[in-house]
Structure 1
Amino acid sequence: MANNCVQEEGGITVANLEQLASDMEEEIKRCTRGLQSYSAKSTCCIYKVPLKLEKNNDKHWYSPRIVSIGPYHYEEGDLNRDYKYQFFGSFLSRTRAGKGIGIEDYLKKLLPLETKVRECYSENVKLESGTEFLEMIVLDASFILGLFYKFQDSGPHETDEPLALLKWRLPYFCVDLLLLENQIPFFVLQELFDISKMPDDPSLSVLALQFFNNVMQRPKEVIERYDDNPENPPVHLLDLVRSSLIPNDPMRPQKEEFMIPFFSRLRQKDNTTLTQFIPCIWKLRRSGISVRPRKADSFLAVNFEYGVVEIPSIIIDDFMRYLLLNCVAFEQCHNSCSKHVTVYATFLCSLVDNPADVKYLRECGVIENYDVDRVADFIHSMGRDLAIDIDDFYLSRVFNDVDKHYRNDFYVKFTSFMRRSFYTQWPFLSFLAAAVLLLLTIAQAYIAIIGYVHPKK
């Protein structure tokens, strides 16, 4: 048979193999170029949500409902484009009257930044260079700033158009502006804000946090004391809100020699290895560890002292679900940011084994939500399949101290004895009566001895 004849082996010809090898070589080159291009994007900060998170939590938690921002959802009809131009017009009227700045000034300001903006997106932006891309970033940035200014002081007024029509949509706007896939770079907002800022305006960060506070309802002083960090500015609005929730003060260290009750130090095991998960609520309670709410500026400020896990109260409503899930998605994708929300999600997932644990947290005042089954499902799905560095995260002291306390044999046995002894009210009342009787007997004996030693004259 001639050398150029087709040889068949298992139904595949030599020509097929050569073509397959050639195609695979091309794929290697294409993917290598793509990987090099992705690695070169040092400013990359806006990502498509990983498929594993979409599968665990449902895609609708990451998709805009009212307004699309940026290129990822641009082809979906650019939701509420008319409202964007209405708020753009409001913002334009403000800057024209105050500083004489018009549309052309915004276009000239952002035109040189197109390449830098594109590099912020992990996926290739399909919009071609030119007027369409420039219109998108100017319109979206101006819409956001116009929205912030409209809601800056007393919020929407019933007679203010279009706010009278959009007042009921405010929570949806807040949610959509905090979706990971629905972001534009923060420096784009900052550029337009800088050329349009009035003397009495707060910083852009404070202005944005005031807007989101219409839904989050944090104390005003917490918002106003947030300081811009020029050395480490937020990369987008989601990162801004996430960063504002990170506690400023580290967790307070416990003083082992004096602050921990004596009986919790007896027979303490030497356990310096960080455990990956802490036990769930019912196991902690069985070992004598209780939970109570803690007053703090952020729900992330979890603490553990004196055998008590202190957790700031959190309202797990739809807005909080959107915020937590998108913060986790951002932290999973962005290597250069801290993983506070991811660790918090892991912490909640460790505590909650079933709806009964959620019910206990609700009764303690830690979680505010009446649908315990739904909250339990949400916590499990949010904390599933997350990548964390177990040796470097902000709750490491809490995890270690809870684990040490939980593994303390004496404390567990003492708690078990107390539970068995006082499981009902009658043993407790019997013990109380016996204790009172003993104290009275001691007092009577003491009085008798004093009377014998020092008789009355």
Structure 2
Amino acid sequence: MPGYVYGLRWEVALTGPIEAIASQAASRSAMEGEGNHHVIDIWKVDEERLASMLKNISQDPKLLSKTAGKKSCCIFRAPTSLADVNGKVYQPRIASIGPYHLAQPRLNMIQEHKWRYLGSLLSRTHVQGLGLEDYLKAIAPVESEARDCYSESIPLNSHDFIEMMVLDGCFILELFRKVGRLVPFEPDDPLVTMSWILPSLYRDFLKVENQIPYFILERLYELSKLPPEDSTPTLSSLALQFFNNSTQRPDEVIARFPRLKGKHLLDLVRCSFIPNPDREKKRVPTPTHVIYCVSKLRSAGIKITRRERDSFLDVTFRHGVIEMPTITIDDFMSSFLLNCEAFEQCYNGCSMDITTYVTLLDCLINTHRDVEYLCDRNIIENHFGTDGEVAHFINGAGKEVAFDIDMCYLSQLFNDVHRYYRSGLHVQWASFKYTYFDTPWSFISALAAFVLLVLTVAQTYFTAVQTFSS
């Protein structure tokens, strides 16, 4: 079959020398016979051009690495389908972490600060006899493991790759310590005196394309601890406290994750939001892949109310009421949701909880009126822009994503809402109330129509009585 030959041709081209390709091409053309000359044409390759192509393949850092399909691979570029919809939200704004955006001129400002922070850390740990060489030696044994975490081939030699891991990792840890007040900021440090920088770093450290493996951070954190720091927070607690300057969760919620681990910082923070991560996963067949928007649910008598919970993902439905915790939509949360969604689309070793939640919001919100209703119910805190801008963001976030709705954590909720929406007389009664009694003006109009109808009937009655009595 031509398609089969075409696929086989590429398998050979990528794995064998050019002479082997030519030899197999000749033998295959003989086997296929004269009648299938179009198959033979596929195998006619210019050896010089093919050699050039193979060389480019081996040097192109954007090609998938050999470990891209393994569970160890957890750091990806955002899929083109998502990047086309959501723009540059997956790329760092001011700080490059890891290899994907290394050496971009627009990120040079923070690159200089990385060396300053590394110098600050080394001067503090020098009393323990630790120098830069010790940090490099600590990462060298796990270089191969770290490379396997990236979905693309990294065109850096061993020394440069390890140096990048140490420089970026120490910068992150030193910033965690400074923001956590374990280490004081230097006087006039622009990273804290310029109010726009830290919020940008909160977002940049949680970009799907801007990560280094979490085990690298753990190694560097343990190595850089001084004796007085033995009782300091764990790395996960320190990291979650750092990002809590944007997530604004109660301290007791953060305190529940002293030993939480992730594949990287984005995954760590993502996991801290997932309720019941060890829940049993079971397939729940759903009759439909959507539920209706807020206005249609209200017309069917389904209410949406605020619910106090630790995570905005903890959504429930019972007795005709969808209960949702408050979520703040701002620059940080919009970036976080989209990057978690991109990570879940790429990494098959994690749940799809963020993707499922975003899909739920996309179902509930069609227009700015739906956002307005959710804001009035304190389910959405809008720090993003107008209600229309929030609706546009949510609708964009729900595009080009894939997940198994029968296996998602909200599959039962989708089922129950759909069943309630389609059931019986209470829906018709709710629709009547929504149409005629939802606002004071609709109520007044309905009341006026009713009074007019009563008066008309009364007038007709008395006219008929007078006519028959005379």
Fold shared by both chains (TM-score > 0.5):
yes
Query: Which residue in 2 is equivalent to 1:358?
Result: 371
Q: Aligned pair in 2 of structure 1 residues 291, 429: CA closer, same or farther (>3 Å)? A: farther
Match of 1:148 in 2: 176
Q: Distance in 1 between matches of 2:184 and 2:319?
A: 47
Q: What secondary structure does 2:392 align onto? A: helix
Distance 1:29 1:134, change over 3 A: closer
Answer yes or no: is the 8 Å Cα contact 2:98–2:210 preserved in 1.
yes
Q: 1:282, 1:357 within 8 Å by CA — same for their partners in 2?
A: yes
Name the structure 2 match of 1:446: none
Distance apart, 1:21 and its partner CA:
8.5
Q: Which residue pairs with 2:10 in the alignment?
A: none
1:401 matched residue in structure 2: 416
Tell me what 1:165 maps to. 193
Offset of residue 28 of structure 1: 11
Q: CA–CA distance in 1 between the matches of 2:65 and 2:90?
A: 28
The residue aligned with 1:206 is 237
Contact 2:286 2:405 in 1 (8 A): no
> Matched residues, percent identical?
45
8 Å CA contact 2:286–2:411 kept in 1: the answer is no
Please give the alpha-carbon distance, in whole angstroms, between the structure 2 residues aligned to 1:349 and 1:217: 24
Give the secondary structure class of the aligned counterpart of 1:182.
coil
**Residue 122 of structure 2: aligned partner:** 92
Identify the residue that residue 32 of structure 2 maps to in structure 1.
none
Which one of 436, 443, 457 corresponds to residue 424 of structure 1?
443
SS of the residue corresponding to residue 291 of structure 1 reads: strand
User: Which deviations, in whole Å up to 9, do the C-alpha atoms of 1:266-288 show, x marking residues without a partner?
Assistant: xxxxx974421111111100000
- SS at 2:322's partner residue? strand
Length-normalised TM-score, structure 2: 0.76
Q: Counterpart in 2 of 1:453?
A: none
Task: Give, in angstroms, the shift of residue 167 of structure 1.
Answer: 4.2
2:311 aligns with 298
Deviation at 1:149, TM superposition (A): 0.2
CA–CA distance in structure 2, aligned partners of residues 74 and 91 of structure 1? 22
Task: Give, in whole Å, the separation in 2 of the partners of 1:123 and 1:303.
Answer: 39
Deviation string, structure 1 residues 316-351 (Cα, Å, up to 9, x no partner): 111111100000000000001011100011001111
Alignment of 1:218-297 (within 5 A): 218-229=249-260, 233-248=261-276, 273-297=286-310
3-state SS, counterpart of residue 342 of structure 1: helix
Aligned partners of 1:159, 1:29: CA distance in 2, in Å?
Answer: 51
Normalised by the length of structure 1, the TM-score is 0.78
Alignment deviations for residues 173-203 of structure 1 (CA, whole Å, 9 cap, x no partner): 1111000100000000001111223212111
Q: Is the 8 A contact 2:286 2:414 kept in 1?
A: no
Q: What secondary structure, in the 3-state scheme, does the structure 2 residue paired with 1:180 have?
A: coil
- Conservation of the 8 A alpha-carbon contact between 1:293 and 1:311: yes
User: Matched residue pairs, number?
Assistant: 394
User: Offset of 1:158 from its aligned partner?
Assistant: 9.3
Q: Secondary structure at the match of 2:66?
A: helix
Deviations 1:205-263 (A, max 9, x none): 1110011111111111111111425xxx3100000000001113899xxxxxxxxxxxx
Aligned residue for 1:348?
361
Give matches, 1:367-446, under 5 Å: 367-369=380-382, 370-419=385-434, 422=437, 423-425=442-444
- Report deviation, 1:373: 1.1
Q: Which amino acid aligns with 2:400?
A: D
Gaps of 5+ in 1: 1-11, 252-270, 432-457
Separation (CA, whole Å) in 2 of partners of 1:365 and 1:67: 34
Counterparts in 2 of 1:36 and 1:162: CA distance versus 1, 3 Å: closer
Q: Do residues 125 (structure 1) and 154 (structure 2) align?
A: yes
Query: In structure 2, what is the Cα distance between the partners aligned to 1:274 and 1:222?
Result: 36
Show the 5 A alignment for 1:323-338.
Answer: 323-338=336-351
Counterpart selection for 2:44 from 19, 23, 34 = 19
Q: Is the 8 A contact 2:299 2:435 kept in 1?
A: no
Contact persistence 1:91–1:145 (CA under 8 A):
no
Equivalent position to 1:316, from 326, 329, 342: 329
Instruction: Give the conservation status (yes or no) of the 8 Å contact 1:274–1:390.
Output: no
Going from structure 1 to structure 2, the CA distance change for 1:202 and 1:160 (only over 3 Å counts) comes to farther
8 Å contact from structure 2 (residues 191, 198) kept in 1:
no
Q: What's the RMSD between the two structures over aligned residues?
A: 3.3
Give the counterpart of 1:191 among 219, 243, 253.
Answer: 219
- Check 1:366–1:103 CA distance in 2 against 1; reply closer, same or farther (3 A cut): same
Residues 85-115 of structure 1: CA deviation (Å, up to 9, x unaligned): 1222222233334x44221211110112211
Structure 1 position 430, deviation (Å): 12
For residues 76-91 of structure 1, what are the structure 2 equivalents within 5 Å?
76-77=104-105, 79=108, 80-91=110-121
Give the AA of the match of 1:410. Answer: L
Cα distance between partner residues in 1 of 2:449 and 2:267: 58
Partner in structure 2 of residue 139 of structure 1? 167
Go from structure 1 to structure 2 and tell me whether the alpha carbon gap of 1:248 and 1:153 turns closer, same or farther (over 3 Å shift).
farther
Aligned AA (2:118): F
Is the 8 Å Cα contact of residues 122 and 132 (structure 2) preserved in structure 1? yes
Alpha carbons of structure 1 residues 302 and 184: separation in structure 2 relative to 1, 3 Å? same
| 357-366 vs 23-32, greater mean Cα deviation | 23-32
Match of 1:217 among 248, 266, 270: 248
Q: Provide the secondary structure at the position in 1 that maps to 2:292.
A: coil
Runs of at least 5 residues in structure 2 that lack an aligned partner in the other structure = 1-36, 451-470
Structure 1 residue 290: deviation in Å?
Answer: 1.2
